[in-house]
Chains A and B, each alone.
Chain A
Amino acid sequence: MRVRTSLIALAVGSVLLAGCSSVGVKPWQRDILSRSDMRPDGAGLDDAIDEHLYFSKEASSGGRSFGGGGCGCN
């Protein structure tokens, strides 16, 4: 059973490593990635306004960036 588990883990690990070898792009392949809608922080003021609103109404905040307050609303 242990051997079988090890073999499965080895197979899965090999597939993942093979996948990682193809991860990433060359500099000339960044045309789509360079757009603002492809950046995690690309929404700018939209995100700032949303984060502030959700912070004032929920017990959670942050994640994308620091979840500090800077506001007495919560």
Chain B
Amino acid sequence: MAFFARIRLAAFVMLFLGLMVATPSIAQKLGPDGAPNPTASATNERDLLAQFPRAEGRIDIPDTKAAVLIQPAGRTWDYFHEVLLHWGGAVVILGTIGVLGLAYLVIGRIRITAGRSGQKILRFKTFERISHWLTAVSFVILGLTGLNITFGKIVLLPVIGPDAFSDISQTAKYVHNFVSFSFMMGLLLIVAIFFKDNLPEKVDLEWLKRGGGFIKNKHAPAGRFNLGEKAVYWLSLLAGIAISVSGLLLLFPFYGTNIADMQIAQVVHAVVAVLFVALILGHIYIGTLGMEGAFEAMGSGEVDLNWAKEHHDLWLARKLASEERPTQPSATPAE
């Protein structure tokens, strides 16, 4: 019995202690005049936003995104879009153009050292070139219309006025939204066609060690694609996936996404787009101004034999070897 008495005492003490702890919180629920304070359990905006990124509730209308009452992240996104993106984008893109201009002045156009042989060899088949130019034309259109959305109001609006600028921007928006599909198709084709030749090889390290062909009189060996081209391939693949996925989310707003997802999709889309434009500016430079004999590979598809020897010796050797042993006893050159 003494045991039970002790338990009863312990329980009483516990209850008493508990009440002592609980009393102040009960007191808080009463107003100064002893009346219950109806806001004691009410949330206020500050506590809610300290706990959650957004203040959300129930809504009577079918538009579910209207259930978000307050999302202060809108101001953060505004800061990203108007400050970080404007400055970051301008610095990266203009910086890239500056660096390429400097490269042209310092290194200059990389010539075919041995001069043109006059002999041509097929580097890119028609289908490969169509895939490339489909992607390239789409990219340029997407790039310009995309830059217009970010920089147009700073660069173009003051020049042509609000009415003309709105008309252009509206058209540019639709062009951007629909050309995206030809870009994604072109990207898929490029990725599939050139996958095998862009896998890393041992010779890539050798190419890098010898300065990638940028140092005069130092030959850098390479297969069909050198390490620089492979970098463009893999970075384009990564950027292409990021920009396509985020772009599709933006094309179909609020399908399984909330306001924060839409903001993140836009941030990813914008940041990757700026870096992608910088990468492709480098790609365009080396394919046109930066190197003699490079453009015709994607132009006519045929390159000079000496150019191939200097830049893609291993590929040329393989190509010539396969042409010497034609599988078909035919006089037409193998494609």
Are A and B interaction partners?
no
B residues lining the A interface (CB < 8 Å): none
